[in-house]
Amino acid sequence: MAKEDVIVIGSGGGGAVIAKELGEMGLKVLVLEAGPWYGNKKWQNPNLQPGAKISSTFDDLDVSLYKQLVNKYEQNMNDLVSGRFRWGPADRSRSQWFRNIKQKGMIWQSSGVGGTTQVYTANCPRAFPMAVDHVWPLSYLELIPYYEKVEDTLPVNFAPTTAKEELFYYGAKKAGWHLIPTLDVTVPGFRPQPNAILPPNNNILNPHVRLEELSWMEGCTLAGHCVNGCPHGPSMDKIAKRSTNVSYVPLALKTSNVTIRPNAFVLKIVTDIDSSEGLRAIGVVIRDTWTGEKEELQAKVVVMAAGSIESPRLWMNSGLPHNPWVGKGLVNHYMDWLTGIFAEKELMPILGSSDVNPFVGHTCGARLDYPGLGTLQTVGMSPGLTASFFGMSESGYDFLTSSMTKGRLYGDELKEVMTNYRRTLSVLVSTDDEVDPQNGITLDPLISDEHGSVPVVAYKPTKRSKRKRSELVKIAVDILYKAGAKKIIWSNWPAGNMIHMESTMRMGFVVDENCESYDVKRLYIADNSVHYNSLGGPNPTLTTQALATRTAEKLFNKYF
């Protein structure tokens, strides 16, 4: 049986990064991805036909095919059941992969090459230093060179200002907040979003360049709808939104050392006992999601990057040693959503226009960071997604006053808000929620699918997390009113809305500070699950990518 140097499980936020780094070090890497691959010549109809088995050359990437498959239509891309970015196998005659979530809410994750970064909004803030220093088993200073490497590679830029950011900055300044001029956030304040989106195309205002031509040039078109997928750019490695399938994956393939196999669900980590190392990982068992065939593959080192739910599930389904922290301590940035509705006469003097048009520009172009509490971000989602968010609430139908509505919107009230959609500004709350061992992933004792026992996902915020979220909600309300909102909708999202899952295989408990498992040698983890906590509230992916870059170095030095 051929032996790889390293097998990486998952090609999303973390997996694609460690594959590229190890490939550049000259190691032979096999990436196993459970979902489909969009934009590779070897999979012309990825949701209809099995296509090829593997791809290992950059020349297989095909931007025309990618643009044909990835468009901005909300339902096409983001319908959680049938959209291209759903959580399930490529084959559309089969259902999604089931997770048992015993509370209100939803789990928003994607399968496929690029993982959930295919749909993410590309915000790339660093963790708050105070959430890392003297808390994590490594210092913030140690992370900085790895942050810098990822920021250069993606690359990370500051978001340009469109109307919704301008309105947010206006409100934030009137509410007494100041601009933070640094990436390392130690005091509260607002700033443009650091994100992995290429700067705006120089021809945006050129009337002689047609929209179709613009979309084939390098740079962001500011046309918005980034969550539905970004099809703008001249080649697969120059797409404006730098999801890992268009950034790290092309770079990994360029090393000629990395092979990627989509439609391959890893069922089990295979181990043996070595006289000097003890229990160690030696390979995996996979299941081809089209044919159902199983296969064992071997490697000198195995890296789990299947995400914060599937990595602990895989550990437990593989029967690896019991560790009380496997799957435990899930954090989720305990989120909330508020929307201000503005009148034309309020907007004109601030924006010089009667509309905000929140879908224009980067989805989350501005943020307010508050070390100790968490973060606020502007969010300009497409209208269908926005409307669906008004249907999610912990409080049911709970109307407060005429200028503030809390709870779920429906009927005439939803119609009224959506009629005013172009004059709204929405703010997402991301709390610095506490690690609590009661929260996390366990295996369902009764329900299995073709990949083993399904995960049960449970999350209940602690008292302190609830208090922090309330403080952030108050700040958001104040900013929206100061910006001139005539009415605010406070959604009061249920705690079960899972978008930023982290910390289920914590550093210092399940893995050491180099992200190697304490219990199984040669088994590393390179996804959100290794975070020690919720980073203070900032979006998680950049930190996962910095850690994956560091883990590659540590793994290489120890075993090769």
Ligand X SMILES: Cc1cc2nc3c(=O)[nH]c(=O)nc-3n(C[C@H](O)[C@H](O)[C@H](O)COP(=O)(O)OP(=O)(O)OC[C@H]3O[C@@H](n4cnc5c(N)ncnc54)[C@H](O)[C@@H]3O)c2cc1C
Residue 153 contacts ligand X per CB under 6 A: no
For the CB of residue 222, give the shortest distance to ligand SF4 in the complex, in Å.
Answer: 5
Residue 323 contacts ligand X per CB under 6 A: no
- Contact (CB, 8 A) for 302 and 351: no
For the CB of residue 548, give the shortest distance to ligand X in the complex, in Å.
Answer: 8
Rounded Cα distance between 559 and 334, Å, is 39
For the CB of residue 545, give the shortest distance to ligand SF4 in the complex, in Å.
Answer: 18
Whose tokens are 């490529």? That residue is: 90
For the CB of residue 70, give the shortest distance to ligand SF4 in the complex, in Å.
Answer: 10
Enumerate residues 6+ apart whose C-beta is below 8 A from 133. 139, 140
Rounded Cα distance between 373 and 405, Å, is 24
Residue 35: name its binding partner from ligand X, ligand SF4, none (Cβ under 5 to 8 Å by kind): ligand X
Residue 339, phi then psi, degrees to nearest 5: -130, 130
Rounded Cα distance between 3 and 22, Å, is 16
**Contact pattern from residue 442 through residue 481 relative to ligand X, giving x for each residue in contact according to CB under 6 A and a dash for the rest:** ----------------------------------------
Tell me which residues touch ligand SF4 (CB under 6 A).
197, 220-226, 230, 232, 240-241, 362
Residue 122 contacts ligand X per CB under 6 A: yes
Residue 77 contacts ligand X per CB under 6 A: no
Enumerate residues 6+ apart whose C-beta is below 8 A from 507. 136, 137, 138, 513, 515, 530, 531, 532
Largest CA distance in the chain: 77
Whose tokens are 């700067």? That residue is: 199
DSSP string, 471-535: HHHHHHHHHHHHTT-SEEEE----TEEESS-B-SS-BTTTB-TTSBBSSSBTEEE-SGGG-SS-T
For the CB of residue 501, give the shortest distance to ligand X in the complex, in Å.
Answer: 8
**Contact pattern from residue 178 through residue 217 relative to ligand X, giving x for each residue in contact according to CB under 6 A and a dash for the rest:** ----------------------------------------
Rounded Cα distance between 477 and 422, Å, is 19
Residue 121 contacts ligand X per CB under 6 A: yes
For the CB of residue 315, give the shortest distance to ligand X in the complex, in Å.
Answer: 11
Measured from the CB atom, the residue of 86 and 362 that comes closer to ligand SF4 is 362
For the CB of residue 363, give the shortest distance to ligand X in the complex, in Å.
Answer: 8
Binder of ligand X out of 69, 131, 227, 511 (CB under 6 A): 227
- Contact (CB, 8 A) for 455 and 376: no
The residues of the shown chain that bind ligand X, judged by CB under 6 A, are 9-15, 32-35, 108-109, 111-112, 115-117, 119-123, 227, 265-266, 305-308, 310, 314, 499-500, 527-528, 539-542, 544
